[in-house]
Amino acid sequence: MASMGFIVALSLLALAPLCFCGKTNGGGYLYPQFYDHSCPKAREIVKKVVAKAVAKEPRMAASLLRLHFHDCFVKGCDASILLDSTGTIVSEKGSNPNRNSARGFEVLDEIKAEIEKECPHTVSCADIMAVAARDSTVLTGGPSWEVPLGRRDSRGASRSGSNNDIPAPNNTFRTILTKFKRQGLSIVDLVALSGSHTIGNARCTSFRQRLYNQSGNGQPDYTLDKSYAAKLRANCPRSGGDQNLFFLDFVSPIKFDNSYFKNLLAYKGLLSSDEVLFTKNAATRELVKKYAYKQELFFQQFAKSMIKMGNISPLTANRGEIRKNCRKVNT
Active site residue ranges: 70
Answer for the pair 180, 190: CB distance below 8 angstroms, yes or no.
yes
- DSSP-assigned states of every residue in 292-308: HH-HHHHHHHHHHHHHH
Answer for the pair 176, 274: CB distance below 8 angstroms, yes or no.
no
Q: Provide the CA 133 distance to its chain's centre, in angstroms.
A: 7
- DSSP character for 245? E
**At how many degrees (to 10) do helices 272-279 and 173-182 cross?**
100
Report in angstroms the alpha-carbon separations of 101 from 176, 196, 246.
20, 16, 13
Which of 166, 143, 9, 21 lies closest to 80, judged by CA? 166
Strand segments, DSSP code E, in 193-319 are 201-203, 245-247
Give dist(CA 298, CA 262) in Å, integer.
12
Which of 202, 170, 185 lies closest to 302, judged by CA? 185
Beta bridge partners of 312: none
Q: How many residues does the chain have?
A: 331
